[in-house]
Amino acid sequence: MANISDVARTAGVSPATVSRVFNGGRVTAERAERVRKAAAELGFSPNRVARSLRMQRASVIGLLIPDIENPFFTSLARGVEDSAQRTNLSVVLCNTDEDVEKERRYLDIALAEQMAGVIVAAASRKRTDLSALTARGMPVVAVDRRPRAAAVDAVMVDNQHGGEDATAHLLERGYRRVACITGPAGASTSEDRLAGYRAAMHEAGVPDDWTRAHTRHADFRVDGGYAAMRELLALRTPPDAVFVANNLMTVGALQALREAGIEPPEFGVLSFGDVPWASLVRPPLTTVQLPSYDLGASAAALLQDRLAGSDKPLQTVVLRTVLQPRESTRGPDGAG
Amino acid sequence: MANISDVARTAGVSPATVSRVFNGGRVTAERAERVRKAAAELGFSPNRVARSLRMQRASVIGLLIPDIENPFFTSLARGVEDSAQRTNLSVVLCNTDEDVEKERRYLDIALAEQMAGVIVAAASRKRTDLSALTARGMPVVAVDRRPRAAAVDAVMVDNQHGGEDATAHLLERGYRRVACITGPAGASTSEDRLAGYRAAMHEAGVPDDWTRAHTRHADFRVDGGYAAMRELLALRTPPDAVFVANNLMTVGALQALREAGIEPPEFGVLSFGDVPWASLVRPPLTTVQLPSYDLGASAAALLQDRLAGSDKPLQTVVLRTVLQPRESTRGPDGAG
DNA sequence: TTGAAAGCGCTAACAG
DNA sequence: CTGTTAGCGCTTTCAA
């Protein structure tokens, strides 16, 4: 593999000149041409490791997501990638598996590899610790979930409002006993969506006791949704509708309903976030649609801003959700 | 950020000794202890960039996959990741989007970043070019798809056999006019599965003309499967069953069938590869099950072998598929 | 505009 | 077992 001195020698210039040609320094056109030709001839491409060492910063950003098998996050990842490509940053995808320990390891790697910055959908609100990075001046952007104590830019979804909207919609359509399956107690997304649900129920005059008794925390995965739904169905006063706080748990909940011989829209089902392969689900599901791609794109834009040296005060961008009514919440009487 | 000399100074030893402590060299217990203490005190962790530059090799491997939104590949990625973790390798995931150009860019990065090795599910059989890497001695393992000219280790699935099995199953169950939707003409997986289909049809005495007329190439995505299925249904002699060569296209095909008011098992549907969220599909789908996780794990194992210096001759590991009969191919008469 | 030279943090060869 | 030393390939002063 040819290096910068090889190129310099064949072009009859100094290594510094070659470096300038590749980094937009001032070089006369004639020399620059000679350098480019020599580089092409030798198949030279700059060694990024050496460059990173010298610059004390790599042109790679880390993207930490909690579940690579959740289409929400893969779509978010695409948003990041597309946006990053514009400034020639490459994206390293790390799957933390909702595991704070694994997440910590990846954060360490980001530091040790001198990545330019990190975008993270935190595994835990309380326990994810970004201070090691921020303390060393590495730009960090939180996306989708905001770790409690972190002083970082963030891109979020208006979870509470979305949850409130969703619940109000179910009540409007005539469901009387609306339950909620939300995520782990630690996560900001879980709690905000739950807060929205509670607010709407309270507003509708449902006693807080009832609401609390018909709330379940699960793990944002299919199995968790399944188990929670079964519990709810086994209650003395089972619900006639459910607001499920993420897409995968909705898949599980639907499964549990099917096994119990219950079908929407007689029983209302509303999912926060698009269910993967929604086209396969009958009847079509009412969902709160999340701007997953834009979430990623905005986060990357924010990060690139910081990398370019911006020292604006920290900001949080909140993206809107959109309620998409479909068959699964048509109403308990099956009318219209 | 403390560096190796800082640690050496506080521990009262030389940088070389510190390096040895962190890399398993021979150091007396007492000194090693002093070094570890100093390192902890200063919050030292070795700079991987400097190490990579010096060693001419990073402890990162690249994983190039064509579609991050396909659960088959995410599961494969998990296999790679879990296996890599055993030797402290981190995995960089790159989404090539079935785009040879994008793939080439990532391969360049792998080279420039001096990654330890690369595992690649090639975007194209003909046009994916791995020679730049192999020429520079970088270990490469092909997984799932084998670029034609590449001299690399590989982990594959017995696609042809799987396709043959699947088709034979449909014929056995009494379907008479079995069509096939396969992937892009360039991909090895497409062609091998198609070859299996053809062999089984030929064996059953179906004229090759008919078989050819009822074959469609699509792009391994949902929309492609949808369009292909619509074409097949519009034929003068429409099929009464279809063998679809990947999971996402099956989702599309099912959609097209539904729109046409056709439901399995009256019309037989068999998918090569598990359909995501299969639990949502009614009736349950017959599938050729692929060992996606093991594919990734084996590829990583092979790569680690090379990294450890193995110079065995190149090998190809072929993993078996398993036919999982379910409702969607019960037979055209709906009997049993 | 250009080149010489220093040095990013680490590991490995060598000498002790 | 330990320390000294050279250098991986690049960018960036500094002086010309």
Segment B26-41 mean pLDDT: 93
What residues 81-100 of chain B have any CB closer than 8 A to a CB of chain A? 81, 90, 92-95
pLDDT bucket at B80, cuts 50 / 70 / 90: very high
Residue A235 has pLDDT above 60, yes or no: yes
Segment B208-237 mean pLDDT: 96
B93/A92 CB distance under 8 A: yes
Residues B57-76 pLDDT 10s: 888 899 999 988 788 998 99
DSSP state letter for B62: E
- Residue A105: what pLDDT? 87
Asked if the C-beta of B29 comes within 8 angstroms of chain A's C-beta atoms, the answer is: no
Name the percent of chain B lying above pLDDT 90.
Answer: 72
Tell whether the torsion through CA atoms of A43, A47, A48 and A49 is positive or negative. positive
- With CA of B53 and C1' of each nucleotide, the nearest comes out as D8
Average pLDDT, chain B: 92
Lowest mean pLDDT among A5-14, A15-24, A150-159, B89-98: B89-98
Asked if the C-beta of A20 comes within 8 angstroms of chain B's C-beta atoms, the answer is: no
Q: Is the pTM of this model over 0.85?
A: no
Q: How far is A236 from chain B (nearest CA, A)?
A: 28
- Residue A336: what pLDDT? 45
- Closest chain A residue to the Cα of B93, Cα to Cα: A93
- In residues, how long is chain A? 336
Residues A130-153 pLDDT 10s: 998 998 889 999 999 988 888 999
- Residue A334: what pLDDT? 55
Residue B135 has pLDDT above 60, yes or no: yes
Identify all chain B residues contacting A71, using CB atoms and an 8 Å cutoff.
Answer: 69
Which among B46, B53, B281 has the least Cβ separation from residue A280?
A: B281
Asked if the C-beta of A160 comes within 8 angstroms of chain B's C-beta atoms, the answer is: no
- How far is residue B135's CA from residue A13's CA, in Å, rounded to a whole number? 28
d(CA A41, C1' D10) / Å: 20
Q: Which of residues 1-20 of B touch strand D (CB under 7 A)?
A: 12-17, 20
d(CA B17, C1' C14) / Å: 15
B280/A71 CB distance under 8 A: no
Which of B105, B134, B280, B285 should one mutate to test binding to chain A, selecting the residue with the greatest count of A CBs within 10 A?
Answer: B280
- Residue B334: what pLDDT? 55
- B262-286: b (≥16 Cβ within 10 Å) or e: bebbebbbbbbbbbbbbbbbeeebb
- With CA of A28 and C1' of each nucleotide, the nearest comes out as C1
- Residue A150: what pLDDT? 84
Residue B336 has pLDDT above 70, yes or no: no
B277/A276 CB distance under 8 A: yes
Residue A29 has pLDDT above 50, yes or no: yes
pLDDT bucket at A293, cuts 50 / 70 / 90: very high
Q: Are strands B322-324 and B286-289 parallel, antiparallel or unpaired?
A: antiparallel
> What are the Cα distances from residue A44, in Å, to A16, A18, A47, A89?
15, 11, 9, 20
